[in-house]
A and B are shown apart, each in its own frame.
Chain A
């Protein structure tokens, strides 16, 4: 088994720094906006000012007359020229309903900001100015802006042709829940509401579409998924996929925001065809902030015994997914329910998720992908148990963890691969100096201050596989060595800016015994890389890295066979290391000489294989992707489950409701770590994102359905000085089901941070008898909770 482990894991102590890190830090890394193309034109979109309306008609003369304008395209005209947008993953795959979504709305708009027309001009300012001149006649329809209201009979229909506002109800259950609640000594209920907020990549989306003279469509896209985007564009334009090329340049952050399925993608390609010139569009920050995520309310009940052992759990989650759309966002509602009951052994539970449409902009993926919502609800529930029984919050978790000896461990919808949750928690408690935090809390309270300590444990399903769409749990990589002994890796996974190309290069270098600098990793171009499913679900290293290791091993086998000829020995006596080929106890040659030997002497020398030094392999953790129901009817779409424990301390200002983070520590188990620098960076970033969501970030709408958050002055993300020094550590239990033993790093940490901060704030205000479970825990929300009990 150890032979299967990546050789790179041995280099942990001195990992390579992130490739191109210097270029990026010094502002020389090129992004989509840096691409220069002759004859470039610019698009601007006309967007609906109404949350719900029928589109009566367009008047475009004034816009067409504006200087620099090349073309105005209305939804009416676009509908005649281009098909609906294919779903990233359709709700019909899980028994739900959907509708057709157009690039530019032709008959009905479902949210403020929905594109209804577009303008192309030779100058971006002219395009935006002319877009303001396009007049659209609307018949305003009643909107529905709240998911609970949307579920009531007689509520306005978000889509006027639907009968109700429910996309789908998904449910996961095990055991006799009614019996568990009836016989339990204690039952508590709570409502936990997580707000709508997104991910704020520094670089928003952007696209440049152009049609080559040969009829090929070339799209440069700041996207996480170039191949699935190619498939979608080919379908919309009724082209063979070979006629479409998608190139994803370097990405300045993504986090799910750059999953495909946006209306602008197809619209820009159509515009480019109409003006016969390359067309560029960059997402403005206000456009990026339209994209929703995470807005869910849990109605939660927990049954437990006198020792704090959980006997049963019920949760009904109402998910306000906005106007659905074709992106992956609504899937977070599914994953939120599926993540239950997290790291805990719960004999009976019943969790449902109601996916509800409203007249707000649709969701897209957001790091955490619904798992943060499940974690927040579960961790609140566990803390309520601890408070009710006056038990230590860490101790209640210990009493309920799935024991490390119980893996693989089945729940209704997943088979957990491995873990040692107690060890991870204990390490985090030690790293965070939990006893000291508790003592400091005692002192602060004695001095009349509101101090709290919060713990959370997060379970993060990773590498999901969803047959029926192009979000899959496998990927493909090619490894090739050229005659000079340099190595190129082509992989179907992409980097959102995390640096996974560094770790993949490191893995391949170690397999081939060459230096890291000799390996180049190519991603994000559908003309050069194997078909792949891009970036998401912490899949890049697990799957793309796994496939690259398999391919490297095939190339290595060819090298060893050739080396045995060149050095006149048995293949078993050959070692590859430090760019050199060694014969046991004797001769050696540079790897470049061996590569040249293969390219120049094969066939002439019958024993030298003439196949190129190249291999392509696909990889999936098949052993733990279980789509055929087992005897108990269970299936599992996620192969591996990272986890982490979080410990933090806060103080709350009783007069203002302001929360100050005093300390923060977290320990993760992401399985085998290939590059600790990258893993640490991902965990720190995820925690910062979780804290941001816990305390500040909120994409509010006014009561007329207009977004209030349109810039970073009214949507607050944390800056460095808002965050405490975050201490992180690791605990490794390799996944037995992934090639590398990795579980995935990148997504993990958001959920635990949201929950730990929420628990700490509730702990701080508990002496007042106050409780707050409506996120974010902004000063106004916290003060409101305090005033409700102290007034």
Chain B
């Protein structure tokens, strides 16, 4: 049950949203609400003001100069409905299709909300780090851009300053990609996620999520070869430093090489 007498705002533009944020003693920004609203109900998140970005004009995917500009209110279903998106970014499509929770979550939850929540056990952080996405943050003082790998600072910690709102995710295409996530059951958070990328200049990387508090990038360019080499390199590189209720850190570490190898295998002959 929501315990606070909330003031609900759905501003028509980002400037207004930022102004409300600045004026409020405690405000919560809501994208799709699939995480924040249940947290409000459980009393884990308390706020005086709710700033809902639903009318702020952030629900568009635009392609310009080879770069995808994904509004922070674009839902998983919205992304998948974008014409040509399967060719432009198959990795994000795989992630969006596989989001747990069925149509209700995929129609409501947003990529932007997920990266801001920074749950090490979710898909979006791994994928955006793998794609070297950049995040556009807006405040009354202006705009700044942060690489996804720097935006994620720790488990459930993102580099959002007071008064800031994530407005866009900027993504450039890669040549080939693979994504594998391992979860315990259909309703489970992912335990370990792996996104493999091969860029046009033949750089091959795998990014692992759910093993450490933030996604870990491993450069495979030098050792592209047998599967066992990938497994060994991954096991030697990642450290068992993240656990949650579903799986201990040692387990995540134990399977990380295997999950990485499965993502890399999707790249085809490398």
Interface residues of A, Cβ cutoff 8 Å to B: 44, 124-129, 132, 284, 286, 655-656, 658, 695-696, 700, 708-709, 711-714, 716-719, 721-722, 778-780, 783-784, 787
Contacts and interface: CB of A to CB of B under 8 A. Distances in A.
Interface stretch (B18-26, B207-215, B250-258): B250-258
3 closest A-B pairs by CB: A714-B245, A129-B3, A655-B258
Contacts of A709: 245
Chain B contact residues (Cβ within 8 angstroms of A): what range? Answer: 20 to 34
B118 to A, nearest CB: 16
A717 B184 CA distance: 11
A716 B246 CA distance: 9
30 contacts: A124-B1, A125-B1, A127-B1, A128-B3, A128-B43, A129-B4, A129-B43, A286-B42, A655-B255, A658-B184, A695-B185, A696-B185, A711-B42, A713-B187, A713-B189, A714-B245, A714-B246, A716-B184, A716-B185, A716-B188, A716-B246, A718-B185, A719-B186, A719-B187, A721-B186, A722-B185, A779-B191, A779-B247, A780-B248, A784-B251
B247 A125 contact: no
- Of the listed residues B244, B248, B254, the one surrounded by the most CB atoms of chain A closer than 10 A to its CB is B254
Contacts of A128: 1, 3, 43
Given A128-B1, A132-B43, A696-B185, 4 more contacts: A716-B184, A716-B246, A721-B186, A779-B191
Contacts of A712: 187
A286 B1 CA distance: 13
B2 A125 contact: yes
Contacts of B248: 780
Nearest to B43: A128
Contact of A696 (B2, B184, B258): B184
Contact of B244 (A714, A718, A784, A787): A714
Contact of A787 (B188, B254, B258): B254
Interface of B: 1-4, 42-43, 182, 184-189, 191, 244-248, 251, 254-255, 258-259
Contacts of A695: 185
B213 to A, nearest CB: 18
A778 B187 contact: no
A780 B251 contact: yes
B96 to A, nearest CB: 18
A670 to B, nearest CB: 29
A244 B218 CA distance: 68
Nearest to B182: A656
Contacts of A717: 187
B187 A783 contact: no
A779 B191 CA distance: 10
Contacts of B246: 714, 716
A127 B2 CA distance: 10
A789 to B, nearest CB: 15
Given A716-B185, A719-B185, A656 B245 contact: no
A174 to B, nearest CB: 41
A128 B185 CA distance: 33
Contact of B187 (A284, A716, A779, A787): A716
Residue from the set B2, B3, B42, B248 with the largest chain A CB neighbour count within 10 Å: B3
Contacts of A783: 251, 254-255
Nearest to B231: A655
A125 B4 contact: yes
Contacts of B259: 656
Nearest to A655: B258
Nearest to A721: B186
A780 B191 CA distance: 10
Contacts of A719: 185-187
B258 A722 contact: no
A717 B191 CA distance: 16
Nearest to B188: A716
A124 B1 CA distance: 7
B129 to A, nearest CB: 23
A132 B3 contact: yes
A450 B254 CA distance: 18
A713 B185 CA distance: 11
Contacts of B42: 284, 286, 711
Nearest to A284: B42
Contacts of B43: 128-129, 132
A705 B191 CA distance: 24
A780 B1 contact: no
A127 B258 CA distance: 49
A421 to B, nearest CB: 33
A131 to B, nearest CB: 9
Q: Which of A655, A700, A714 has the most chain B CB within a 10 Å cutoff?
A: A655
A727 B185 CA distance: 21
Contact of B184 (A126, A132, A655, A779): A779
B4 to A, nearest CB: 7
Given A713-B187, A719-B185, A700 B254 contact: no
Contacts of B247: 779-780
Contacts of B254: 783, 787
A759 B138 CA distance: 57
A714 B247 CA distance: 10
Contacts of A722: 185-186
Nearest to B245: A714
A298 to B, nearest CB: 25
A713 B2 CA distance: 20
A720 to B, nearest CB: 8
Nearest to A127: B1
Contacts of A284: 42
B167 to A, nearest CB: 28
A129 B48 CA distance: 13
Contacts of B3: 125-126, 128-129, 132
Contacts of A784: 251
A706 to B, nearest CB: 11
A778 B245 CA distance: 13
A658 B186 CA distance: 12
A20 B258 CA distance: 50
Nearest to A702: B245
Contacts of B187: 712-713, 716-717, 719
B101 to A, nearest CB: 10
A311 B259 CA distance: 48
A783 B186 CA distance: 19
A656 B245 CA distance: 17
Nearest to B257: A655
A626 to B, nearest CB: 44
A783 B182 CA distance: 14
A658 B1 contact: no
Contacts of A718: 185-186
A695 B185 CA distance: 9
A772 B188 CA distance: 22
A482 to B, nearest CB: 44
A65 to B, nearest CB: 15
A20 B263 CA distance: 49
Nearest to B46: A129
A282 B4 CA distance: 19
Which of B1, B2, B248, B259 counts the most chain A CB atoms within 10 A?
B1
Contacts of B244: 714
A714 B245 CA distance: 6
A365 B172 CA distance: 56
A129 B259 CA distance: 44
A46 B189 CA distance: 30
A709 B4 CA distance: 25
A709 B185 CA distance: 16
Contacts of B4: 125, 129
Contact of A656 (B2, B186, B188, B258): B258
Contacts of A286: 42
A329 B258 CA distance: 42
B20 to A, nearest CB: 22
Contacts of A713: 187, 189
A466 B72 CA distance: 61
A778 B188 CA distance: 12
Given A128-B3, A132-B43, A716-B246, A778 B184 contact: yes
